[in-house]
Structure 1
Amino acid sequence: MFVRKRGLAVWLNQVKMARHLRKFGNVHYVSRRMRYVILYVDENKVQDMIAKLNRLNYVKRVEPSHRHELRLEFQSKADKAEEYDYQSRI
């Protein structure tokens, strides 16, 4: 079945080393100006990957993504307009 992925922000000393991170997971985005990489790894291996990546000499720090904690269901504006009673304002 599908394996759940978790995002990691990996801050680098040199952007050239972003290529080496492909063996740890899926590289989704590389910021050359700010020198970080968004890396997706299996959810059950997150803590091990953070420890491995922090030991590399070209990695400054690793931050886990908090996107999985956010609520991603939103109400549309049409739903809110129906809730508002226009007749009560007249």
Structure 2
Amino acid sequence: MFSERTGYIIWVNDLKAARSLDKYGNVYYMSRKMHYVVMYMNADRAEDTVRNIQRLPFVKRIERSYRNEIKTEYNSDVPDKTRFYSL
């Protein structure tokens, strides 16, 4: 149904030229102050797409986002101590 997506942070020199990154994937955020672009693309074609993006003259560096790999379900084995301090 939905294809697997991966996120990338792309550091750029020129934000006006970075608008053209839209054809490589979905541009989620562009930081004007720090000059980076957060974008998502299909995981199966990500390696080829990153190679093509690195060739662009305004791209400084590309970092992969590890947001998908971070554990977001939390469980606590330690009992909650707040009930001992209630009035």
Structure 2 matches for 1:9-48, cutoff 5 A?
9-48=9-48
Alignment of 1:56 onto 2:56: yes
Query: Which of the two has higher C-alpha Rg?
Result: 1
Taking structure 1 as the reference length, what is the TM-score of the superposition? Answer: 0.81
What SS class does the counterpart of residue 21 from structure 1 fall into? Answer: helix
Give 1:18 deviation, angstroms. Answer: 2.1
Q: Deviations over 1:43-75 (max 9, x none)?
A: 111211111111111111111111122111123
5+ residue gaps, structure 1: none
Q: Please tell me the root mean square deviation across aligned C-alpha atoms, in Å.
A: 2.2
Distance 1:80 1:14, change over 3 A: farther
Runs of 4+ in 1 over 3 A off after TM superposition: none
What's the counterpart of residue 71 of structure 1? 71
Gaps of 5+ in 2: none
**Structure 1 residues 80 and 42: CA distance shift in structure 2, 3 A:** farther
* Equivalent residue pairs, number: 83
Asked whether the 8 Å contact 2:18–2:58 carries over to 1, the reply is no
Q: Letter of the aligned partner of 2:23 in structure 1?
A: K
Which structure has more helix as a fraction of its residues?
1
